Structure 1
Amino acid sequence: MAGVSIATVSRAINEPTKVADATRRKVTDAIARTGYTTNAMARSLRMRRSNMILILAPDVGDPNFSNILVGLETEASKRGYGLLIGNTQNDPSRETDYLRFISSNQADGLILFTGHLPFGLSQPSHHTVLPPMVAVNEPVLGQDIPFVGVDNFEGARIAAEHLISQGHRRIAFVGRARNREINRLREEGYRAALGGADIAIDPRLIIDGDGTTESGRAAAELMFVRDALPTAFLCVNDATAMGVIIALNARRYDLPRQFSVMGFDDISFASFLTPSLTTMKQPRHRMGEAAMELLLTLLAGEKPKSREVLLRAELILRNSVSRPNS
């Protein structure tokens, strides 16, 4: 209908600046008359590219996930990509099932929130070709996987130094977990801050936790059982801090006059706790954008400027921290 070749139609649609204005108008008019729309599946088969990105997350209900997802989607949309979301629930079989999107060319690359390679890729054979992938929030240890996240060590160090600047010397760390790199780095930041202030670390004030509200509540109760009370709690994340606050409020302590509590992440309800939570804010939207930028660079066959992007957390001052009660 336009009187031009298939290749010219393709250029007029995908690279209009490379086609003469008169030719582009002919193609545009023909499109309008026929109601033509691109068949995405046929295009994917022809180009061997789906323009879709697969995201694997252990828990899409994680308060951090949604804001990072917005950043991922924003950047992907700018570049003509869509997203597929796989909620793995830490189930190896689910991870393997989701990988069919890669093997069947329904997705071009992977964004990993899981902290490990998908089960189907964790022991690749000699002929397995790993798809382009980027880890977000939780690094994949022992693998050369590009990573985008917050500087957890530095953020926790700043958080602990804030408590120290308020006069606290007995500071508990709630959320030790040797199998999670985020928790380990935040504990190391806490230790570095105390060491820098010549404060001896009391092992009784370092409590295991899995990052849930219940683990925070249990940790606070354990402090009373041990009879080794701190003046301040530095929690590995905001959910843990909420559990600590719930336990202390249930015992009718006056917060923060009797105990200070600090979190990490600045999730949506942190400002609505009683008292409102002083915490470290993760730049989650920017994390998502940076991760997608990095992945799309890899998909374009280009070498990224850096294979690790660490963003700074921001100290958010609210009402859950004060000077210790003399």
Structure 2
Amino acid sequence: MPERVSQATRERIAVAVTATGYTLNQAARSLRRQRAGTIVMAMPNAGNPYYSTILDAVLAEAGHRGYGVLVSNRVQGDPTIWLRDYFLSSRADGLLLFDITLDVSGMRRFMEERGNLPIVVVCDEIIEPGFNLVTSDNREATGRAVQHLVDLGHQHIGLVAGPTIHDYPNERTLGFRQALARHGLAMREDWIIAGDHSIGSGYQAGSQFVALDERPSAVVCANDEMALGFISSVQQAGLHCPRDVSVVGFDDIDMAQYVSPALTTMRQKRAELATISTSALIDIVEGVRDPAKPVRIILRCDLIARASTAPPKGAAVRPAREFRF
């Protein structure tokens, strides 16, 4: 036991290890454990600033548990074949899936065929109960984004929506629609503009907003990148944020607080999402969690109010209140 070894002895061992250049044979260690000691993290776009904090936290938690991480980044095409190759060759013990655009059901069938290899999904949608899932409460968070705007006095609110993937409902779009209905606000389909989570689609959404005959006084964007593109577009067209349109983003990426105006947004707990999902996956790999009882962890987001939202012209501000769903 380590506590039975004196400090002096440990120091002599450390000196000897350094002098001989000894390193742990990870292949032999993995063979003894009958595991590869590696997990795969699949994400759609490593260049998206949303994933920087997530990747750091996954690497930190996996390293703490003695595991390496292979990163699959969707650049083009479907990396499913690449992922399957790693599991067929026993080079990975489980899959941490941030890329919901993959054929999730197909991946799960493949994992089951390989003896129930673990998979934990981290995504924006509430997918079928059979999956291990770690996510944010996107529907509730979007409802609070609408609540924030209503408290400021906004009655005409639009949405720059993210894409709907597979057959799962888009939780942020659903949360937006439900929130407007709760407040008795008009739902105008021409105020719901489709985007793809990129800054470019947000910029295009801003152009569509400017061209509207009647514009909402506030817009919720399904992520921060689209919000930043949207603000840039409308301000280049001669409008001002928030005087002419208030904007709320989603995620709280690092640059959100440094742009002008600083972006009001719903903060996802990205480091927690990454740490919890990585720990859950490794627990399943090591038999700590029962694979027959799927993981279901949903984290609450925080509203971060900054300069991109303000009362509409001539509106009376309602006292801010906590709204439970």
When the two structures are superposed, what TM-score results if normalisation uses the length of structure 1?
0.84
Partner of 1:44: 30
**Paired amino acid for 1:161:** Q
Alignment partner of 1:148 is 2:138: no
Aligned to 1:295: 281
Is 1:62 the counterpart of 2:13 in the alignment? no
Flag the 1:188–1:119 CA change in 2: closer, same or farther, 3 A: closer
Q: Are residue 98 (structure 1) and residue 83 (structure 2) matched? A: yes
Separation (CA, whole Å) in 2 of partners of 1:291 and 1:125: 17
Q: Deviations over 1:220-268 (max 9, x none)?
A: 2223434131100110111111121111111111221111111111111
Single out whichever of 233-242 and 182-191 deviates more from structure 2: 182-191
Distance 1:178 1:191 in 2: 14
Task: Output one character per residue of 1:287-324: Cα deviation in whole Å (capped at 9) or x when no partner.
Answer: 11110121122112133686111111111111010000
CA contact (8 A) 1:138 1:182 kept: no
Corresponding residue for residue 310 of structure 2:
322
1:310 maps to which residue?
298
Write the distance in 2 (CA, Å) between the matches of 1:42 and 1:100: 22
State the percentage of identical aligned residues: 33
Deviation at 1:135, TM superposition (A): 0.9
- Is the CA contact 2:126–2:171 (under 8 Å) kept in the aligned structure 1? no
The within-5 A match list for 1:229-244 is 229-244=215-230
Q: Highest Rg: 1 or 2?
A: 1
Counterpart residue identity of residue 91, structure 2: Q
Cα distance between partner residues in 2 of 1:84 and 1:238: 27
Distance change >3 Å, CA 125–CA 221, structure 1 → 2? closer
Residue 171, structure 1, aligned to residue 157, structure 2 = yes
Match of 2:62 among 66, 76, 80: 76
Aligned residue-pair number: 311
Q: Does 1:186 align with 2:172?
A: yes
> What is the CA distance between 1:202 and its match in structure 2?
1.6
Runs of at least 5 residues in structure 1 that lack an aligned partner in the other structure: 1-14
Give the distance between the partners of 1:181 and 1:314, measured in 2 at CA. 28
SS at match of 1:280: strand
CA contact (8 A) 2:203 2:229 kept: yes
Match of 1:112 in 2: 97
User: What is the Cα deviation at residue 66 of structure 1?
Assistant: 1.4
In structure 2, relative to structure 1, the CA distance for the partners of 1:126 and 1:137 (3 Å cut) is closer
Task: Name the amino acid aligned to 2:89.
Answer: S
CA distance in 1, matches of 2:66, 2:225: 35
1:210 to 188, 196, 201: 196
Deviation at 1:99, TM superposition (A): 2.8
Q: Residue 29 of structure 2 aligns to which amino acid in structure 1?
A: R
State the distance in 2 between where 1:127 and 1:203 align.
Answer: 44
- 1:82-112 deviation per Cα after TM superposition (whole angstroms, max 9, x unaligned): 21111133522x3312332222222111110
C-alpha distance in 2 between matches for 1:190 and 1:262: 12
Quick check: 225-234 or 128-137, which moved more? 128-137
**Counterpart of 2:248?**
262
Q: CA deviation at 1:273?
A: 1.9
The CA deviation string for residues 113-132 of structure 1, in whole angstroms up to 9 with x for no partner, is 11144697365498443411
Structure 2's unaligned 5+ residue stretches are 315-325
Name the residue aligned to 1:4: none
Which residue number corresponds to residue 219 of structure 1? Answer: 205
Q: SS of 1:211's equivalent?
A: coil
**1:102 corresponds to which letter in structure 2?**
F
Contact 1:275 1:320 in 2 (8 A): yes
Change (3 A) 1:223 1:242: same
